[in-house]
Amino acid sequence: MVCLDTSFLADLLRQDEKAISKMEQFIEDDALLVTTPINVSELYKGAYGFHNPEEEVDRIEQLLYQIPVLPMNNQSCKLYGMIHHLLKSSGRPIPDRDILIACICLGNNIQKLATRDVKHFKNIPELIIEEY
């Protein structure tokens, strides 16, 4: 299983060649692809900044049609507290939304995250970055 981060999903919508190539690799590997409510929220936030938000919302919904959205469960919440403290106390804080994304993945037993935002996610224990 691979969780798709906002950067990956947005790049797919922009038809970025690297993202498309990585997606083809995931499909070839028969990987189950998922995302989080945080990523979906960030996509919609971006859509409403477009001159034609309805069109962008339609594109997002078409992309997300077959990508399950992971739940934020109690384990995700516990991990959030632990990882937030770990990163802050080690002087490597990252935005809360990125910690939440990672914790939702890990709380649902998914260790791989497809993203180009390696800088924010690289210090999260047990998370494997699928860079593209």
Domain 2-130 superfamily per CATH: 5'-nuclease (3.40.50.1010)
| pLDDT of amino acid 56 | 95
Where residue 25 falls among pLDDT bands split at 50, 70, 90?
very high
Closest to 35 (Cα-Cα) out of 93, 112, 94: 112
- Cα separation values, 12 from 82, 91, 92, Å: 32, 33, 29
Supply the DSSP string of 19-64, one letter for each residue.
HHHHHHHHHHTT--EEB-HHHHHHHHHHHTTSSSHHHHHHHHHHHH
Q: Give the model confidence (pLDDT) of 48-83 as tens digits.
A: 999 999 999 999 999 999 999 999 999 999 999 999
Note the pTM of the prediction, 2 decimals: 0.93
DSSP state of 51: S
Q: What percent of the chain has pLDDT over 90?
A: 98
